[in-house]
Amino acid sequence: MYEALTDKRAYANTLGCLMKDPTLVEDIDRPLDREDFNTEIFYDLLFVAIYNLSMQGCKTIDEFAIDSYLSGFKDQYRIFQENRGLEYLNNIKEYCSLENYDYYYHRDPSDLRVDSKDNYGRSDFEGEKLTRFALNYDFGNKILAFANNLSVEAAYLSKTWETDPNKEKDTDGHSGRKFTFHLVSDFNDNTTFKYDYQKKLDAFAEEQGAHSNNVELSLKVAKNINAKGKIYVMSDPDDIFTDDAGKTYDYAERVGYFEMSSDINPRVFVKGSVEHQVENANSPKESTRVDYIGEVTYNLTPTTTLIGGIQHVDFENNFTKSNSNIANAILAELKKNFTNKFRGRAFYSRAIIDFKDSLTDSVDRENLYGELIYNVSKDASVRFKFGYDYPDESRWAVSDYDNGRDKIDIHTQKMFIFEARSNF
């Protein structure tokens, strides 16, 4: 495993470059294998798909080839769709740069800074060593007659770091560890059950570790109607809140999610969802957020798609009452492929956040973005952009205002960007 390839920006540029030039997969001076992408299953399966397509002789690989390849593997394809794989691959292929491939491949881990919560309490990758063991088995229907395609996977991951006597860190002498268990089964052609368990211990002394359980059930209610429900429960005894009386509370989180979607006809797809999230559950700091979202996708023509949606958010903060608010948001997105080389996209969103204390002024946020892209050739492209695109995390970020989601400084930016790229 090449240890420097450990952040998502490196993943994105590397995978994008492999799509543009699959011969890089076999570059003996810059070797790669699936272990380089195993921090998340999503990146791992993308690399495997690109690698296998390359071995089949593909000279260039686009997102549709990867989508077609993964569609033959039910569990992997579900993960691909849940992570909006087509959109992700389209973006990284556009933004990656073959001339920067060496930079990301040989990137110095000491230059990287990450949220320590995501890296076992460590804020960098310097001197990092990762060990991972995984075991998976497909039982089919051998154990339970009513459970088809039953498969399980267990994995153990450990991270340690070299110590520097001149730069002592709290993680010195300790290891970050994570154990995961994944089970998936189809009860019949219309029902899929999935269960995930995780225990994660940061690299600190006397660490007890956070653990979580996630249960998901997907149903095909009718020919064109699907439903999905999730329950997520997490607790972290190392994250403690102490009240004025000296009583302590472990951090706990509870999430319930339900959605229904339907293909009304070949042109119209609708989806509605509700999510109930509780943070710091059963403590004086408890906060509750409820999201209601409705979206419609309408294919105006084979090359033109219009997406519209509405959102209502009800947030209640028991600890800081002044933060309690109600947010209402709308969005619209238009995508158009003018030719196989020329395409465009426009996006608009607006949210109004009203605070329940009637003392804080309402907040009105909106964002407008547009882009035109022309691929002159496979190695050259021209792009014209206006404004600020929505973040990768969510197209509904305009309504996130420290109301159970971190505030993102998103607003219409009156800026024009012209960009031309070419690989010589």
* Per-position pLDDT tens, the chain of length 424: 333 344 566 778 888 888 888 888 776 555 676 667 766 788 888 988 998 888 777 777 888 889 888 888 888 888 888 888 887 887 787 667 776 676 665 544 344 444 455 678 877 667 778 788 888 888 766 666 666 778 888 989 898 888 888 888 888 889 999 999 999 888 777 888 999 999 999 999 889 999 999 999 999 888 889 999 999 999 999 999 998 899 999 999 999 999 999 999 889 999 999 999 999 999 999 999 999 999 999 999 989 999 999 999 999 999 999 899 999 999 999 999 999 889 999 999 999 999 999 888 999 999 999 999 898 887 788 889 888 777 666 788 899 888 888 887 776 677 788 888 776 6
pTM above 0.75, yes or no: no
The dihedral through the CA atoms of 400, 320, 317, 353 has a sign that is negative
d(Cα 65, Cα 58) in Å, to the nearest integer? Answer: 9
Predicted pLDDT of residue 276 = 97
Predicted pLDDT of residue 141 = 65
Give yes or no for a contact between 244 and 227, defined as CB atoms under 8 angstroms apart.
Answer: no
Predicted pLDDT of residue 403 = 86
> Where exactly does CATH 1.10.860 map onto the chain?
8-105
Predicted pLDDT of residue 113 = 43
CATH code of the domain made up of 121-422: 2.40.160
For residue range 321-350, what is the model confidence (pLDDT) as tens digits? 989 999 999 999 999 999 988 999 999 999
Predicted pLDDT of residue 189 = 76
The tokens of 129 are what?
């060593």
CA distances to 20, 64, 314 from 57, rounded to whole Å, are 13, 16, 52
Helix H or strand E encompassing 328? strand 325-337
Q: Radius of gyration (Cα) for the chain, nearest Å?
A: 23
Predicted pLDDT of residue 85 = 86
CA distances to 71, 277, 418 from 291, rounded to whole Å, are 31, 8, 37
Buried b or exposed e, range 220-255, using 16+ CB within 10 angstroms: eeeeeebebebebebbbeeeeeeeeeeeebbbbbbb
> Where exactly does CATH 2.40.160 map onto the chain?
121-422
In order, the DSSP letters of 254-270 are: EEEEEEEEEEEETTEEE
Residue with tokens 């956040």: 353
The dihedral through the CA atoms of 389, 391, 395, 397 has a sign that is negative
DSSP reduced 3-state for 304? strand
Identify the CATH class of 8-105: mainly alpha
Count of Cβ atoms closer than 10 Å to residue 269 Cβ? 18
